[in-house]
A and B are shown apart, each in its own frame.
Chain A
Amino acid sequence: MNIHEYQAKELLKTYGVPVPDGAVAYSDAQAASVAEEIGGSRWVVKAQIHAGGRGKAGGVKVAHSIEEVRQYADAMLGSHLVTHQTGPGGSLVQRLWVEQASHIKKEYYLGFVIDRGNQRITLIASSEGGMEIEEVAKETPEKIVKEVVDPAIGLLDFQCRKVATAIGLKGKLMPQAVRLMKAIYRCMRDKDALQAEINPLAIVGESDESLMVLDAKFNFDDNALYRQRTITEMRDLAEEDPKEVEASGHGLNYIALDGNIGCIVNGAGLAMASLDAITLHGGRPANFLDVGGGASPEKVTNACRIVLEDPNVRCILVNIFAGINRCDWIAKGLIQACDSLQIKVPLIVRLAGTNVDEGRKILAESGLSFITAENLDDAAAKAVAIVKG
């Protein structure tokens, strides 16, 4: 689960991490009053969407007057911001973060990730703030420093000092950096975050220099939300695909793609492989859909309905290899779906595994015109032949 920048900043503030004075705003008038309240002479108005790349897309503006704050807010709110991460339709801007502009001397990158290789939290830092870390890793890998955290011991002061020194945070900035790194690590552990990215971390101030987090991105573990109430409350459903949200409510894992062959499969691996097989036959899958284990007839009906809501779908490939699932349940679910949804597109069905004979028999005796497939290859070939036919 992702959260907005303003939520990340408010969260970090509770851990004593310095962030600029600011507040969230839902209207231009509110943005102006926020600016007035926090005072100063320059403000940053930032569109709150989950996608990155807001700056280049016009979603971050520096205002020099309250009136300018209001103007920028008015322009951003209700607009669709298109960044390299949003897709061509962009993301609707429904809230803003207005903060006091900082006098920035230099920017750094700080990230905590879970390294799948060493299976530990790893602190990554770079003197190249403001840039995407992937780019820094590619162009100037020597500018990236890493420190692995032993989960039994936690992030140690000396590890933070090593990192601070390596990226050039010296003098009185060093103890600040140590405090900040340890606070973010603690936050990550407490809140079951999978990623905490501070980019940029900046040296700010005209005479008195200090460290400040200017942007922060968090990603939390969906599997741990049951024990993270404050994080769960930050979920913004408007940032998620409504069909994916609906599917997950039915225990289905759905991801929309841009092809025309609908897919209903059990198991994430087989679902991916089914998309691959379609692609290798020259077809284009319309979606990824994993019905999961224990797929009841109701679940199968819901899966069919969600897949068919996509107007591009011209046939549906059903590929089930039943382990804890049962082919007879799947077959009953398909018949139920055909009855209740009046499905007009052809259904290509491949069943294998537990109770496969019963499943096939139910389909054959239904009187409905399912196209049965012998195996994965056969199923993909038949689906592609239909859409190309």
Chain B
Amino acid sequence: MSVFVNKHSKVIFQGFTGEHATFHAKDAMRMGTRVVGGVTPGKGGTRHPDPELAHLPVFDTVAEAVAATGADVSAVFVPPPFNADALMEAIDAGIRVAVTIADGIPVHDMIRLQRYRVGKDSIVIGPNTPGIITPGECKVGIMPSHIYKKGNVGIVSRSGTLNYEATEQMAALGLGITTSVGIGGDPINGTDFVTVLRAFEADPETEIVVMIGEIGGPQEVAAARWAKENMTKPVIGFVAGLAAPTGRRMGHAGAIISSEADTAGAKMDAMEALGLYVARNPAQIGQTVLRAAQEHGIRF
């Protein structure tokens, strides 16, 4: 098992014939992902021009793509100015999980998108994320798939490269993952930590969870509180940005210390007080997962 995506997921790409979507559609297929087609408005009725993808149909709208292919997952490779619209189109067409890689979607667009989603069941992962991967089954994103090995750890992070870092540390210790979810570095995420923790708690194969946050916003602490009240599985937390100065945007639009509660130290203190395993040192994330697994008698 896994969360959100698995070997049954039928994936389409929005912005399908673009350079990045083409590259990552091929990579996803090589890993076993069921890519069933894609959307490029204006190119409907054709096949993808790349020889490796030439068997896949191109549609004008997501609704047509869903009707023809039964797709339930979309990788949205659409430039930031048009990305929120593409996401809403996916939701309207009944896509269950829409993943958006784009870095640079205006915040007001995300506010509208989140309002549009009220009362609808679709999940939006991102923006500003490497995406989601269930090793050997389904990859919707841009991460280096070879570092992700199958196992029983669920991982969720705001940062992409820090997700890779933690994954590699775990792999070196023999710890693999069920699913990795990047919720993204923007101030407004389609999916928050709590939603992902809830899915991991419900997934029978996930036995232990790693949550990697960063400075800025109330999400990490809210998630830790939710975990304390609702989770039976151990959770390991890390928050990047101990050395970050106040008031500066550290690369990610969402990574900015606006108040004392936003600092990495305050968040990790709160996580610890709420009973999470906390890795204070980014180089110790793997070791901390190992310790938690051993203390809980979890085999891997």
17 cross-chain CB contacts under 8 A: A116-B218, A117-B218, A119-B110, A121-B111, A223-B105, A257-B245, A265-B161, A268-B159, A268-B251, A268-B255, A269-B163, A269-B252, A272-B244, A277-B281, A280-B242, A377-B283, A380-B283
Closest partner residue, chain B, to A375 (CB atom): B283
Closest partner residue, chain B, to A152 (CB atom): B115
Asked if A255 and B160 make an inter-chain contact with CB atoms under 8 angstroms apart, the answer reads no
Asked if B219 and A275 make an inter-chain contact with CB atoms under 8 angstroms apart, the answer reads no
Asked if B165 and A116 make an inter-chain contact with CB atoms under 8 angstroms apart, the answer reads no
Enumerate A296-324 residues with CB–CB distance to B below 8 Å. 321-324
Indicate if B130 sits at the interface (CB-CB under 8 A).
yes
Q: How far apart are the CA atoms of A352 and B144 in the complex, in Å?
A: 10
B residues near A277, Cβ cutoff 8 Å: 281-283
Q: How far apart are the CA atoms of A376 and B285 in the complex, in Å?
A: 11
A-side interface size class = 35 or more
Shortest distance in angstroms between A158's beta carbon and chain B's nearest beta carbon? 20
Closest partner residue, chain A, to B281 (CB atom): A280
Q: How far apart are the CA atoms of A253 and B249 in the complex, in Å?
A: 10
Asked if A269 and B157 make an inter-chain contact with CB atoms under 8 angstroms apart, the answer reads yes
Whether A280 touches B106, Cβ cut-off 8 Å, given contacts A267-B162, A268-B250, is no
Indicate if A366 sits at the interface (CB-CB under 8 A).
no
Q: How far apart are the CA atoms of A265 and B160 in the complex, in Å?
A: 13
Enumerate B206-256 residues with CB–CB distance to A below 8 Å. 212, 214-219, 222, 240-245, 247-248, 250-255
Asked if A323 and B81 make an inter-chain contact with CB atoms under 8 angstroms apart, the answer reads no
A residues near B130, Cβ cutoff 8 Å: 323
Q: What residues make up the interface of A, taking CB atoms closer than 8 Å to B?
A: 85, 114, 116-117, 119-121, 134, 150-152, 189, 192, 194, 221-224, 226-227, 253, 255, 257, 265-280, 285, 288, 290, 293, 321-324, 352-354, 375-377, 380
Q: Is the interface of A mostly helix, strand, loop or mixed?
A: mixed
B contact residues, total (Cβ < 8 Å): 62
B residues near A222, Cβ cutoff 8 Å: 253
Asked if A270 and B165 make an inter-chain contact with CB atoms under 8 angstroms apart, the answer reads yes
Asked if B143 and A323 make an inter-chain contact with CB atoms under 8 angstroms apart, the answer reads yes
Asked if A268 and B252 make an inter-chain contact with CB atoms under 8 angstroms apart, the answer reads yes
Shortest distance in angstroms between B246's beta carbon and chain A's nearest beta carbon? 10
A residues near B242, Cβ cutoff 8 Å: 275-276, 279-280
Pick from B110, B215, B259, B283: contact of A272, CB below 8 A. Answer: B215
Whether A270 touches B111, Cβ cut-off 8 Å, given contacts A275-B244, A290-B251, A377-B283, is no
Pick from B107, B216, B245, B248: contact of A223, CB below 8 A. Answer: B107
Indicate if B114 sits at the interface (CB-CB under 8 A).
yes
Indicate if B57 sits at the interface (CB-CB under 8 A).
no
A residues near B144, Cβ cutoff 8 Å: 322-323, 353-354
Pick from B110, B215, B222: contact of A117, CB below 8 A. Answer: B222
Whether A134 touches B259, Cβ cut-off 8 Å, given contacts A120-B111, A267-B160, A269-B158, is yes
Shortest distance in angstroms between B135's beta carbon and chain A's nearest beta carbon? 15
Pick from A194, A266, A380: contact of B107, CB below 8 A. Answer: A194
Asked if A224 and B252 make an inter-chain contact with CB atoms under 8 angstroms apart, the answer reads no
B residues near A276, Cβ cutoff 8 Å: 240-243, 264, 281-282
Asked if B106 and A151 make an inter-chain contact with CB atoms under 8 angstroms apart, the answer reads no
Pick from A221, A293, A375: contact of B106, CB below 8 A. Answer: A221
Asked if A321 and B106 make an inter-chain contact with CB atoms under 8 angstroms apart, the answer reads no
Shortest distance in angstroms between B36's beta carbon and chain A's nearest beta carbon? 24
B residues near A257, Cβ cutoff 8 Å: 243, 245
A residues near B251, Cβ cutoff 8 Å: 253, 267-269, 271-272, 288, 290
Indicate if B280 sits at the interface (CB-CB under 8 A).
yes
Residue in A194, A276, A377 with the greatest tally of chain B CB atoms within 10 Å: A276
Shortest distance in angstroms between B21's beta carbon and chain A's nearest beta carbon? 13
Shortest distance in angstroms between B175's beta carbon and chain A's nearest beta carbon? 15
Asked if B187 and A273 make an inter-chain contact with CB atoms under 8 angstroms apart, the answer reads no
Indicate if B271 sits at the interface (CB-CB under 8 A).
no
Asked if B243 and A272 make an inter-chain contact with CB atoms under 8 angstroms apart, the answer reads yes
A residues near B80, Cβ cutoff 8 Å: 223
Q: How far apart are the CA atoms of A276 and B284 in the complex, in Å?
A: 12
Indicate if B32 sits at the interface (CB-CB under 8 A).
no
